[in-house]
Amino acid sequence: MPTNHDTFLAAQAVIPGGVNSPVRAFRQVGGEPFFVARAQGPYLWDVEGKRYIDYIGSWGPMIAGHSHPAVVKAVQDMAAIGMSYGCPNPLETELAAEIIKLVPSVDLIRFVSSGTEACLSAIRLARGHTGRDRILKFAGCYHGHGDSFLVKAGSGVLTLGLPNSPGVPKALADLTITAEFNDLESVREIFRQVGHELAAVIVEPIAGNMNMIEPLPGFLEGLRALCDEHGSVLIVDEVMTGFRVALGGAQAVYGITPDITTFGKVIGAGMPVGAYGGRRAIMQQIAPLGPVYQAGTLSGNPIAMAAGLANLTLIQAPGFFETLSARTQRLCSGLETAAGAAGVPLRTLSRGGMFGFFFTDAPSVTSFAAAQRCDIEAFKRFFHACLKRGVYWAPSAYEAGFTSIAHDDAVIDETLAVAAEAFREIA
């Protein structure tokens, strides 16, 4: 039986860092990543046969649990009659209609193959629609690895401590202005100075790439008002929060109406899918209807569409989000209780099937700076103390966590028992 270490060495011989996405490399937490052999429900098994309770779920898509039978059947049935056509197929229309039904702000939607592609396409569309070049994002937020976004980005960029990525032309990076999440005054000031030049504001409605930080009351509403006042496009990046924090996404939770919404993860159920959609007046400018170009060989891939449709059917089951939310809340309150019993300061929060926890005694964490002041070393120790006991959190203090409907009460109880031991170990 191969070891994780040998598998990692083999991977490093042919793949940069041995991984196809940097955050998987355990660089922030230390140690070496394990390599997954198979997954089922809430569990991963590594190549050595060790089982983990998985709180990443492929970074969000696996909301119904790994290899849900309905999703697997949809993929198998579709694969048997075609893998990819490069021609339109009815499933694209079905999935588009399903998303539009669930997200009223979307009149038209275009499928792509990743969240990155969705976000960079949305920015291009906003720039084409307004004729403006500048965009505004928030420090610590992550919208994929498109050049315009690798400016004070979150997720893996933050994990690796890369303020900005080399290779992004300065002339392009200079067109990206960053403000502070939850600091509406910092946004107002930028609009005062260059509002007439801003093509778009792009925001994660719940920041999930600097750990998890919810919007303060009035923050998202303020962005909407400023965009209306200055003729800028409001892009709400729901790649992570879409169909994850609520059936209608974060925009349903906070009552915000984007001009464009980006999607990913859950709508593909683990298959490569992203999407961007929004108001007809904007979306109809996308080629071939309009002049803003965007294309993709595998966009609307039938297997990915079938998987996404199966996932969206599963999450519309009666009580799905009520059950998912209740279990995630129980996980978080149980973590706080266990940490408190060990004298470890911990704050948690959750919304639907998304959660975060911070090693801090601050009453709450509502900014990127506050997230960076938390005890990262304590997180690293806790991460490994849990990992060796079979519970797998995101290998970075700057990521959110994800539950699935397969994380039943017994799985939550097992997790909390492991966490209690881990908190005692690190106290």
- Can you give the binding site for ligand KE4, defined by CB under 6 A? 21, 23, 59, 114-116, 119, 142-144, 155-156, 204, 208-209, 237, 239-240, 264, 274, 399
Q: Measured between alpha carbons, how far is 218 from 75 in angstroms, rounded to an integer?
A: 42
Catalytic-residue membership of 265 = yes
Nearer to ligand KE4 by Cβ, of 78 and 158: the residue is 158
Q: Of these residues, 142, 254, 276, 398, which one is catalytic?
A: 142
Q: In what order do the strands lie in the sheet with 36-40?
A: 36-40, 43-46, 51-54, 391-392
Number of residue whose CB is nearest ligand KE4: 115
Contact 67, 406 (CB under 8 A): no
Nearer to ligand KE4 by Cβ, of 140 and 302: the residue is 140
Q: Measured between alpha carbons, how far is 66 from 40 in angstroms, rounded to an integer?
A: 5
As measured in angstroms, the least distance from the Cβ of 361 to ligand KE4 is: 26
Nearer to ligand KE4 by Cβ, of 259 and 399: the residue is 399
Q: Measured between alpha carbons, how far is 308 from 268 in angstroms, rounded to an integer?
A: 4
As measured in angstroms, the least distance from the Cβ of 239 to ligand KE4 is: 3
Nearer to ligand KE4 by Cβ, of 82 and 163: the residue is 163
Catalytic-residue membership of 142 = yes
Phi, psi of 92 (to 5 degrees): -60, -45
Catalytic-residue membership of 101 = no
Nearer to ligand KE4 by Cβ, of 46 and 237: the residue is 237
As measured in angstroms, the least distance from the Cβ of 203 to ligand KE4 is: 10
Q: In what order do the strands lie in the sheet with 274-278?
A: 108-112, 274-278, 260-264, 233-237, 198-203, 134-138, 176-179
Q: Where are the beta strands (DSSP E) in 249-353?
A: 260-264, 274-278, 347-351
As measured in angstroms, the least distance from the Cβ of 425 to ligand KE4 is: 27
As measured in angstroms, the least distance from the Cβ of 220 to ligand KE4 is: 15
Contact 119, 239 (CB under 8 A): yes
As measured in angstroms, the least distance from the Cβ of 119 to ligand KE4 is: 5
Q: Of these residues, 46, 54, 237, 259, which one is catalytic?
A: 237
As measured in angstroms, the least distance from the Cβ of 338 to ligand KE4 is: 25
As measured in angstroms, the least distance from the Cβ of 264 to ligand KE4 is: 5
Q: Measured between alpha carbons, how far is 377 from 389 in angstroms, rounded to an integer?
A: 19
Strand pairing class (274-278; 347-351): unpaired
Taking the alpha carbons of 45, 49, 51, 56 in that order, is the dihedral positive or negative? negative
Q: Which residues of 359-381 are buried (b: 16+ CB within 10 A; e: fewer)?
A: bbeeeebbbbebbeebbbebbbb
Tokens coding 423? 């908190």
Q: Measured between alpha carbons, how far is 132 from 233 in angstroms, rounded to an integer?
A: 10
Nearer to ligand KE4 by Cβ, of 21 and 193: the residue is 21
- Of the candidates 241, 254, 408, the one whose C-alpha atom is nearest the C-alpha of residue 330 is 408
Q: Of these residues, 137, 152, 265, 380, which one is catalytic?
A: 265
Number of Cβ within 10 Å of residue 403's Cβ equals 30
Nearer to ligand KE4 by Cβ, of 209 and 366: the residue is 209
Nearer to ligand KE4 by Cβ, of 339 and 404: the residue is 404
Phi, psi of 355 (to 5 degrees): -150, 165
Q: Give catalytic residue positions.
A: 142, 237, 265
